[in-house]
Amino acid sequence: MPDDMGAFRVDMVLENPARPGDKRTLRSVLVDTGAELSWVPAAVLESLGVERNNKWSFRQADGTVLERWTGSVLVYVAGKRAADEVVFGEPGDLVLLGSRTLEGLNFRVEPVTKQLMDAGPAPAAVAA
């Protein structure tokens, strides 16, 4: 995707929480705040031994619906770590860092500089 469309890329590291220490690095992953979940090639998740645990339906821009499995991983980006559910991507699927993972990492997207920024303090409920 062209840079003038506001797209940018980051490196992302994945780890199966059931197999600590075994990690895979994905370079130049597209940051996509329009995607709820992060999408990772199935072969990468399988190499980490990540189990398929939920089947999701996704509506594409053209209105068609597709189904994909998801699995639980630890995601590392720019020095932060979060546990999240990611999509087992199939051939032809994009590799994406989605909005739910960004939120879990407590990042916000700075659109002008095309960088991930700390989102600051998270809202909290306080007992009265």
Q: What is the pLDDT of residues 12-60, one digit of tens each?
A: 999 999 999 999 999 999 999 989 999 999 999 999 999 999 999 999 8
Is the pTM higher than 0.85?
A: yes
pLDDT reported for residue 6: 60
Q: Where are the alpha helices (DSSP H) in 12-128?
A: 42-47, 99-104
3-118 carries CATH number 2.30.130.10: no
Task: Kindly list the distances between the CA atom of residue 67 and the CA atoms of 6, 47, 72, 109, in Å, as whole numbers in the listed order.
Answer: 28, 21, 17, 28
Q: How confident is the model at residue 125 (pLDDT cuts 50, 70, 90)?
A: confident
Query: Which residues have CB under 8 Å from 90's CB, separation 6+?
Result: 42, 68
pLDDT reported for residue 124: 87
pLDDT reported for residue 23: 98
Does residue 90 carry a pLDDT above 50? Answer: yes
Mean local confidence (pLDDT), 102-121? 93
Q: Which long-range contacts (CB under 8 A, 24 or more apart) does 53-57 make?
A: 53/85, 54/85, 56/87
Does residue 4 carry a pLDDT above 90? Answer: no
